[in-house]
Amino acid sequence: MTIDLRHHTDLTPEVRDDLLAVYADVRAPLLHLSNYSVEAFGERLERHVSEPGFGLVLGYDGGVPVGYAYGNTVEAGDRYWQRLADPLPAGYADAPVLAIKEVGVRTPWRGAGTARRIHDELLVGRPEGRVMLMVNPLAGGGKVLGVYESWGYRAVNSQRATSDSPRLLVMARPR
């Protein structure tokens, strides 16, 4: 299976439609929850696109969008750091990091390394020395956490739970 990986730094209507279609498919079991609705994702996406260092990789099999990963540069003082539950070691947040906001792959393309290829392609050419992401440790019965650990991520903190979101584990690794 050959997956064509395409980089984007903004969202044309076509790219946005492709991304929303994959998101809706990947998150289908959760779409009834307000934080996971396509509308809520679309609002977060618009905010993320406008933030510094936005990058998106969409994977296509033929003309079919099958997966994505995107993130932004997070600098010292960014609100990202205030969302963490525990204080970080002194200096930890001083250097810019790539914060991966979303990774998703449609079911037929899972288990074949597609998510890893899309993730790794997102990191290509990035200036940040470290990459971080947040994960629900219960997602997929813990399988998603295990995948991120196999990619070299380690838990460094957690995010405070909100009424719309569970407590998320914050993970980091060198780029």
Classify burial at 43, counting beta carbons within 10 Å of its beta carbon; exposed 0-12, middle 13-18, buried 19 or more: exposed
- 60's enclosing H/E stretch is strand 55-61
Is residue 161 over pLDDT 70?
no
Is residue 166 over pLDDT 80?
no
Is residue 18 over pLDDT 70?
yes
Percent of the chain with pLDDT over 70: 98
Tokens encoding 97: 């990091």
Residue 171's nearest CA partner among 159, 156, 161, 160 is 156
Tokens encoding 138: 């219960």
pTM for this predicted structure: 0.92
Structure confidence by residue, pLDDT tens digits, 112-139: 999 999 999 999 999 999 999 999 898 8
CATH number at residue 33: 3.40.630.30
Average pLDDT over residues 42-70: 96
Assign 132 to helix, strand or coil.
Answer: strand
Mean pLDDT estimate for the chain: 93
Dihedral of CA atoms 32, 38, 43, 48 in degrees, nearest 10, equals 110
Tokens encoding 154: 């380690």
- The whole domain housing 151 covers 4-174
Domain count, the chain: 1
Cα–Cα distance for residue pair 78/96, rounded to 1 Å: 10
Structure confidence by residue, pLDDT tens digits, 19-42: 999 999 999 988 898 888 999 999
